[in-house]
Amino acid sequence: MKAVFEELRSAETSRKRLVGRLIFGALVLASAVVGAVGGLLLVYSTDLPQVEALEHYRPISSTELYDVHGNVIGSFALQRRVVASYNDFPKVLLDALVSIEDKEFYRHWGVNVWRIAGAAFRDIESGGKVQGASTLTMQLARNLFLSPDRSFHRKIQEALLAIQIERRFTKQQILTLYANQIYLGHGVYGFEAAPEYYFSKPARQLTLPEAALIAGLPKSPLYYSPINHADHALRRRTLVIDAMLEDGKITVAQADAARKAALGLNVAHDPNSLAPYFVEEVRQYLEGKYGADQVHAGGLRVYTTLDMDLQAAANAAVLDGLAAYERRHGWHGHLENILFEGQTLEHYQNPDWDEQLATGSYMHGLVTAVATTTAGIKIGNYVATLTKADVAWTKKPLARLLIPGDIVYVKVLSLAPGGKARVSLEQDSGVQGALLAIDNLSGEVRAMVGGRDFNLSKFNRATQALRQVGSSFKPYVYTAVIDQGASPDDTVVDSPVIFQTASGQYFPHNFDDKYEGTITLRRALSQSRNIPALKLADKIGIRTVEEYARKFGITSPLPPYLPVALGAAEMTLMEQTSAYSVFPDDGVRLAPRFVTKVTDYDGRVLEEDYPEVKDVISSRTARIMTSMLEAVVEHGTGVAATKLKVPLGGKTGTTNDFTDAWFVGFSPAMTAGVWVGYDERRSLGSKETGARAALPIWMQFMSAALAGKDPGQFQPPPDLPQKQTAQTLDTPDLAPAGDEGH
């Protein structure tokens, strides 16, 4: 019995030793695992970003441009983003996001361990890399600090950063950071910019189906794009709606209605498209002053001088005027045909179709079918039918005019439901036009058109093109004469004359090759007589004329030759228009400007511009010249403008061989200039004068600009000497000569 007891005691001792060894081994193993994990965490946490920086986090933000009424007219951005606060995001959007991306968001501490473990097991089992299972906080950490590669290393770093973020920030703050940072396709970042892009509305106005669609985009913005893959977007939206229903965020009835709703996209058009030449001028100015990085990523707010309503009127006036010119000169044909280039009717896309289609706009369309009396046209998502009446001006039958695959230029006359449009056939032969409008009291540029189509040519013909100005230069000659004491009722002899010059004899002539004899200065200017202008310039000296032009702000080269008096000098539309504003401004010049104020991301004012004012001529001279330029409109070369029935002054300009057509004029409140011509400096055609090609554009614009407003009155000219005391100014001098302008 004793032996049995000893044997049992020995067995118990052995068992205790075995358990002790097992416990010791387990402790050693646990220590090793803890050490290994700690070591791994130490390795993976090395060089991790400091999340404290998020307290001062500033996402890359768009610089936005505003017009005088506070409307957005353009933006510059590396990332299209509108930074918003938590309260800007509606509950339905945040509920949708949490339901589909991270159901446990309000309960976890940054990492959902079981979700990650399940995803990791599935990925290991399938031989893939770790993916999915990220919480919203982990996604935020990845987007802010890490690369997008899918690896265990990145996943661990993502989790560590998420834990730090959760410790330092509230759930509300994390959601706000996420909602401003996430990419949602088509260059759009954040839950404020996305609704503005896809639905043309702020986030707070989103409906349930719209919010569900936006919330479904973070998983794969490209694959679920409602623009490129509507079917994918609808399926994803349904998943989001189902997830919200499962979480009790919406009712069954709401879910059913949301699933049946159409996508309802209303994609915002590019705000830069209304005034692209103006916006480009502002961009160049801002980058020169603040640098490209600040302009494209710093979130500046730029308050410009543009008036969107006037800009729209300017766009329409130029395009309508060029269309009228094209019709006067008949159909040229030579259309591009995509079928000859190996493209197909089904897959063709024109750059114009990215713009918003609107009544009155001019677009390129694709001819899809041609019959005897009709032709089918595709313009983006719209279709139209051209009839015989729409092409009557070409004097050609439709069947001989167009073939399938032709790219045609059309004007949109009306838009109807169901993607139907009514259009007229137009033509783009390459003729260009430019318009600039300046507020007289401030020098602020209210509208600018630099060409027919910014997408085809970014060259700004309002600010960059140096063109001969023709007779629109003559007011500087008359200003110099009046400023030196002459009267509008003084006379000059309009008769043939020969000027002896260093290069030989100069035989100028009037545009109509007729001569009126002794006429007043007022009549000589209003009828744009060449000989009187040359005689006056010759009498006072062409260099004196140049000095006066410089006072008006003309900086372009002015050769000291007598024909400069007729406009044989090149300058920009900006120079001419700004110079003419001196007359209604009582002799004061306000330098033209595009920007009134710039603020930074935090709203601090970086600059606030005020007009640069300079006295040019006396108020007496300015008022007399204004009255003389009124005479140009009342009974001179600009007489067509009397149809507007408001006080107006201005001057036409036409160069040799009808290469350039000008009209620069003003009301008491606004000065505007118009130029028409070809870039390659070829003739516009016989009789295409400033009065015919440019003045109708100016009139259409000014009619819109003055509509519903008090036009005001010009300051009356001072009392002038009686007619019987007037003198005759007719003493030619010798002067070098160049090309004649008209």
Could you give the C-alpha distances from 638 to 197, 230, 641, 646, 695, in angstroms and in order?
A: 46, 55, 6, 14, 7
CATH of the domain at 142: 1.10.3810.10
| Count of the separate structural domains present in the chain | 4
Distance spanning both ends of the chain, measured CA to CA: 141
223 plus 363 within the same structural domain? no
Distance of alpha carbon 332 from alpha carbon 430, whole angstroms: 11
In a domain, 305, yes or no: no
pLDDT tens string 7-30? 656 666 666 666 666 665 565 455
Question: pLDDT for 236-276, tens place per residue?
Answer: 999 999 999 999 999 999 999 999 999 999 888 777 789 99
Query: CA-to-CA distance for 475 and 582, rounded, in angstroms?
Result: 11
pLDDT of residue 140: 86
306, part of any domain: no
- Of 223, 246, 271, which one is at a domain's C-terminal end? 271
CB 208 within 8 A of CB 250: yes
CB atoms within 10 A of CB 361: 18
CA distances from 510 to 523, 535, 740, 742 (A): 14, 12, 10, 8
Backbone φ and ψ for 131, nearest 5 degrees, come out as -155, 165
pLDDT at residue 738 in the model? 33
pLDDT (tens digit, 9 = 90+) per residue, 533-547?
999 999 999 999 999
Of 247, 231, 237, nearest to 217 (Cα)?
237
CATH number of the domain where residue 453 is located = 3.40.710.10
**% of the chain beyond a pLDDT of 70:** 86
Give residue 162's pLDDT. Answer: 84
In a domain, 304, yes or no: no
- The token pair at 31 is 């220590």
**Domain co-membership, 97 together with 233:** yes
Question: Is 301 within a domain?
Answer: no
What is the pLDDT at residue 115? 64
Instruction: Write out the catalytic residue numbers.
Output: 101, 471
Last-in-domain residue among 370, 399, 426 = 426
Closest CA to 435 of 65, 701, 66: 701
Query: Would the pLDDT of 123 be above 60?
Result: no
Please check whether residue 588 lies inside any domain of the structure: yes
pLDDT, tens digit (0-9, with 9 covering 90-100), for 701-711: 999 999 999 99
Least confident stretch, 5-14, 26-35, 109-118: 26-35
The answer to whether residues 24 and 131 belong to one domain is no
In-domain check, residue 238 = yes
CATH number at residue 411: 2.40.50.140
State the residue range of the domain holding 379. Answer: 330-426
Q: What are phi and psi of 740, to 5 degrees?
A: -80, 140
Q: 574 and 636: one domain? A: yes
Whether residues 242 and 376 fall in one domain: no
pLDDT in tens, 384-429: 999 999 999 999 999 999 999 999 999 999 999 889 999 999 999 9
Question: Tokens for 166?
Answer: 């959760």
* 160 and 29 share one domain: no
Confidence (pLDDT) at 35: 45
Note the pLDDT of residue 25: 57
List of residues 6+ apart from 368 with CB closer than 8 A:
345, 376, 377, 378, 383, 404
Residue showing tokens 């509950």: 91
Distances (CA, A) of 276 to 153, 349, 379, 441: 47, 21, 22, 25
Tally Cβ neighbours within 10 Å of residue 174.
22
Residues 450 and 386 in one domain: no
Q: 694 with 569, same domain?
A: yes
Residue whose token pair is 């110079």: 579
- Strands lying side by side in the sheet with 660-666: 445-449, 432-439, 670-677, 660-666, 649-654
Tell me the mean pLDDT in the region 301-326. 98
Compute CA distances 676 → 283, 527, 660, 697, whole Å: 26, 21, 6, 9
Among candidates 169, 681, 668, 649, which has minimal Cα distance to 468?
Answer: 681
Res 61: pLDDT: 84
Residue 422 and residue 444 share a domain: no
Whether 472 and 588 share a structural domain: yes
pLDDT tens by residue, 138-158? 888 888 776 555 555 667 787
What are the pLDDT digits (tens) for 710-741? 999 999 998 765 444 557 776 543 333 333 34
Residue 599 counted as domain residue: yes
Q: Is residue 291 part of a domain?
A: no
Last residue of a domain, one of 371, 397, 426: 426
Q: Which two tokens stand for residue 313?
A: 């009127």
Q: Do 361 and 232 share a structural domain?
A: no
The Cα 184–Cα 77 span in angstroms is: 15
Longest dimension (CA), the chain: 162
Do 411 and 437 lie in one domain? The reply is no
